[in-house]
Chain A
Amino acid sequence: MTAQTCPRQHQRTTMEIASLEPSLYTVKAVFILDNDGNRLLSKYYDTELYPSMKEQKNFEKNVFNKTHKADNEIAFVEGMTIVYKCSIDLFFYVVGSAQENELMLMAVLNCLFESLSQILRKDVERRCLLDNIDGVFLVVDEIIDGGVILESDPQQVIQKVNYRLDGSEQAYGFDLFDYIIGNIDGQTDRRQCA
């Protein structure tokens, strides 16, 4: 009779217990949506939260519907605390449990946003983000590792990712350079292996 409601409740119960325990696992999920609510990037760190892709996308839709009209910074959806930020045609979300310190989640969100705006040279909009999605993946990877906040200082993130903006003159120059160097490197490496 209660088939449709039961799984969620079980989840919440488990979450509840987990959250009482002091832990570094702060971030449940992070995602970036465009202004139609489509997923551009998303990572779920708590595998029990939304195990299937369908549940994840439903959750993202639900979050988007409840947040895209007003830039309110924080919301509470499906028993989760969501902090968010929008920029031109992008929406950035960081998800934590209901008991999580909201300011920690904000620290993650701010770090993500500032790192990306530096990498994208303030051009934080959909097209530019997609053109440099590899850099975005790397930034997210440096900020959160399996749900643990790995770094919260955007300067450190930039330094660690050391990403060159795609499409600049400089990048093209490096391309040619890599082209030659990569070749030589490849050969030396193989020699070492042998």
Chain B
Amino acid sequence: MIKKFDKKDEESGSGSNPFQHLEKSAVLQEARIFNETPINPRRCLHILTKIIYLLNQGEHFGTMEATEAFFAMTRLFQSNDQTLRRMCYLTIKEMANISEDVIIVTSSLTKDMTGKEDVYRGPAIRALCRITDTTMLQAIERYMKQAIVDKVPSVSSSALVSSLHMVKMSYDVVKRWVNEAQEAASSDNIMVQYHALGLLYHLRKNDRLAVSKMLNKFTKSGLKSPFAYCMLIRIASKWPYSSCLRNKHEMVVYEAASAIVHMPNCTARELAPAVSVLQLFCSSPKAALRYAAVRTLNKVAMKHPSAVTACNLDLENLITDSNRSIATLAITTLLKTGSESSVDRLMKQISSFVSEISDEFKVVVVQAISALCQKYPRKHSVMMNFLSNMLRDDGGFEYKRAIVDCIISIIEENPESKETGLAHLCEFIEDCEHTVLATKILHLLGKEGPRTPSPSKYIRFIFNRVVLESEAVRAAAVSALAKFGAQNDDLLPSVLVLMQRCMMDSDDEVRDRATFYMNVLQQKQKALNAAYIFNGLSVSVPGLEKSLHQYTLEPTEKPFDMKSVPLANTPITEQKTEFAPVATSKLPEKPGPTRQDIYQEQLAAIPEFQGLGSLFKTSEAVQLTEAETEYVVRCVKHTFARHMVFQFDCTNTLNDQLLQKVMVQMEPSEAYEVLHYVPAANLPYSQPGSCYSLVKLPEDDPTAVSCTFSCTLKYLVKDCDPNTGEPDDDGYDDEYVLEDLEVTVADHIQKVLKPNFAAAWDEVGDDFEKEETFALASVRTLDEAVGNIISFLGMQPCERSDKVPENKNSHILFLAGVFRGGHDVLVRSRLALADGVTMQVTVRSSDETVVDIILASVG
């Protein structure tokens, strides 16, 4: 074989890598021959290849050296060697972010893009768009429009895809090419059609009307490209998928089936055709297709296990699939669809290969087990055994966390499994490398351990952590110990001794906690224990930080008022976390600023809202318009100590209108006083904007907590050109009636979770306790009653009392919250079912008015 001239010397043995010992500096040195005349295309090509190879391996190029090589490279445009030219395009794209002044090649690329050589045109467009910015884009706009509708498919595709990439940067320019894209969408070439559809959707996605027109058109005319079909199915939510189930391309059939499966509120009848094509795919010789089918069936089984039962036989066959991912998905699907009797057999089959599968799939197995425990609570001892074995095996953090979460949820669902579960977890933390899991388990031990029949046996496990672990774990262990001391009088002396030792710890946090708990415990007062050991602080931590910072900035004689700190508005829910399907994300563990913190920042920036104090509560958004109207308005209610701010998020869905001076006029039904309107200056098409109203709460009548506002959207309309967005000079005033907005008692109460409700109940005391009995005639079940009360009062259910055990005729619901102004409020509601529901409500609070308000609003 004859090799390139400069390659011969690098040749050594046939298995070696010709690029193995490349040195960046040597290659850049070589690149000087780019400047030689005549150009030697072969050698230059080889050097460019080396540069790209080095970049691909992650070699770092400094700006200086990259720019130098780039400029030398531009000379190579003088050669007409095809491969060399193509490699120049690649180099331009690779270096676009490293080198300076890459726009130097603009004219060369424009020339290639419009030249006669079709092979160059597509790649030249893609390279050109990579280095183009918004201002330069205007200069080549004419060429881009022509290229989109070019009859050569590669040119058209390149132009469409490059336009899509540039939408992010220059939406306004690219959206002017919509007509050309429309034309390209009827192309005979399958890829051009696909790319045109993708670009069209991207440009129009905020315009529901245009999207539905587009869908109609393509549904009628049909598409040539299977890729385009897949895209179309994804765009449409009401697309007649069933016709796509007969498409000749498997890709389209699968996409359609998957779309049906993911449709919210899908009925069993709609599911059936999708499930039967997936069933066929289960016996495909192609692994990817089997995988796709079983993964989707697995999803179906989560919501509609009965729909998948028909596939049980096919799934059984997949258990022995050589691709373990497929086997795992098959088994976990069977676990969801199979009967209680098959559980033991399937579990045995899983344990035979659980060590061979990747962590991701082990998590899938754990999730399946977790779902199973909810379905067949009687099997919990089998599951618990299996889980504890898995816990002992090797595995990464995600996997261990899934197991721990699963065991915790079993404990919470089945009180009789509590002690076994806690024992397994105790064993696990003896040798656990994950701080997060260790602290989580210690927290659970502190919460559940003291209330078990023999709490003393957990002390040893907890104290071992104090001796052996990192600071974070030691601190968590100290907190757990304190809870044992607070709950169990007979353990208190020994806990105090252990605490004493912790006060000698080398870490500040551990010592501080120990000292603090020591002093609280020594008082032996229930109220203190409740406030400082069981239930802790319920304020938002970023909020506390901000308030304290503010306090230090303004020297004052007054002590710091804890009640001025905003509350944590997303209490850790006691509900079992919904197990997510494969690899969907759980919420990030470290809380960033919460939704309320973000609103607080935004509101604080508006001068009219200064001096309102800290934001107490932000409601969920309420829709004030129907979904498919000209203007979409939703309202978020912000409650402050003596005021409320209504934030109206408006979207204008008419592309031929620009709205200005937009505001929502409000007419209150009660003694609420609208103080101020903050209008949105401009509301262009599809760009959301907000306007605000500031309302003063009635001071003389603190019990007036509910009010209805009639709302009208008022604005100045200017007609504008739908394509350019250029508005007319003149406009006219107009208004639009919105739905009424309700303020209820729930807007004045912030949810607070009291992990130990009984302690909190004692802490608040019965100074202002009131009790009343109500008959809820229209309510038929206890579940419904519980749901109604929670949503009406907007308080946090504690001690998992929002779950009514089956077949019970009575239930007690515990609710906790803080009323506007900072008063704790607790509600105990006894419910009895007999011909409607009878409810006895007991309210305690640190303030009498609050108790009256709650009872008055329930009545």
Residues in chain A within 8 A of chain B (CB atoms):
1-2, 4-6, 9-10, 12-13, 15-16, 21-24, 39, 41-43, 53, 56-57, 66, 70, 72-79, 83, 98, 101-107, 126-127, 130-131, 133-135, 137-138, 141-142, 145-146, 148-152, 156, 160-164, 166-167, 169, 172, 175, 178-179, 181-183, 185-186, 189-190
Chain A minimum-CB-distance residue to B358: A66
Q: CA of A159 to CA of B198 in the docked complex: distance in angstroms?
A: 25
Q: Provided the pairs A98-B583, A127-B15 are in contact, do residues A24 and B198 lie with their beta carbons within 8 angstroms? A: yes
- Sort A-B residue pairs by CB-CB distance and give the 5 closest, nearest first: A183-B38, A24-B198, A73-B287, A22-B234, A53-B58
Which of B75-83, B735-743, B792-800, B835-843 participates in binding chain A? B75-83
- Cβ-defined contact, A182 with B287, below 8 A: no
Q: Assuming A13-B585, A73-B323, A134-B48, what are 4 further A-B pairs, CB within 8 angstroms?
A: A22-B201, A70-B322, A76-B360, A167-B3
Chain A residues with CB below 8 A from B83, complex form: 134-135, 138, 162-164
5 of the cross-chain contacts (CB-CB < 8 Å) are: A9-B586, A24-B194, A57-B58, A74-B287, A145-B165
- Cβ-defined contact, B286 with A106, below 8 A: yes
Main secondary structure of the interface of B (DSSP, over half): helix
Residue B56 at the chain A interface, CB threshold 8 Å: yes
Q: Provided the pairs A16-B585, A138-B86 are in contact, do residues A23 and B79 lie with their beta carbons within 8 angstroms? A: no
Q: CA of A70 to CA of B357 in the docked complex: distance in angstroms?
A: 12
Chain B residues with CB below 8 A from A6, complex form: 588-590
- Cβ-defined contact, A186 with B38, below 8 A: yes
- Cβ-defined contact, A24 with B161, below 8 A: yes
Chain A minimum-CB-distance residue to B87: A134
A150 interface neighbour in B191, B286, B322, Cβ under 8 Å: B191
Q: CA of A163 to CA of B45 in the docked complex: distance in angstroms?
A: 13
Q: CA of A72 to CA of B194 in the docked complex: distance in angstroms?
A: 30
Q: CA of A148 to CA of B728 in the docked complex: distance in angstroms?
A: 39
Residue B154 at the chain A interface, CB threshold 8 Å: yes
Shortest distance in angstroms between A46's beta carbon and chain B's nearest beta carbon?
Answer: 13
Among A39, A74, A104, the one with the most B-chain Cβ atoms within 10 Å of its Cβ is A74
Chain B minimum-CB-distance residue to A181: B80
B158 interface neighbour in A76, A126, A150, Cβ under 8 Å: A150
Report B126-146 CB contacts with A as 1/0, cut-off 8 Å: 100000000000000000000
Q: CA of A18 to CA of B147 in the docked complex: distance in angstroms?
A: 29
Residue B251 at the chain A interface, CB threshold 8 Å: yes
Residue B532 at the chain A interface, CB threshold 8 Å: no
Q: Provided the pairs A146-B165, A150-B158, A172-B2 are in contact, do residues A103 and B80 lie with their beta carbons within 8 angstroms? A: no
Chain A residues with CB below 8 A from B157, complex form: 150-151
Among A1, A39, A43, A179, the one with the most B-chain Cβ atoms within 10 Å of its Cβ is A1
Which of B288-296, B347-355, B706-714, B820-828 participates in binding chain A? B288-296
Residue B119 at the chain A interface, CB threshold 8 Å: yes
- Cβ-defined contact, A101 with B38, below 8 A: no
Q: Provided the pairs A16-B584, A53-B58, A185-B80 are in contact, do residues A141 and B292 lie with their beta carbons within 8 angstroms? A: no
Q: CA of A135 to CA of B292 in the docked complex: distance in angstroms?
A: 32
A10 interface neighbour in B38, B89, B122, B588, Cβ under 8 Å: B588
Residue B4 at the chain A interface, CB threshold 8 Å: yes
Chain A residues with CB below 8 A from B122, complex form: 160
Residue B472 at the chain A interface, CB threshold 8 Å: yes
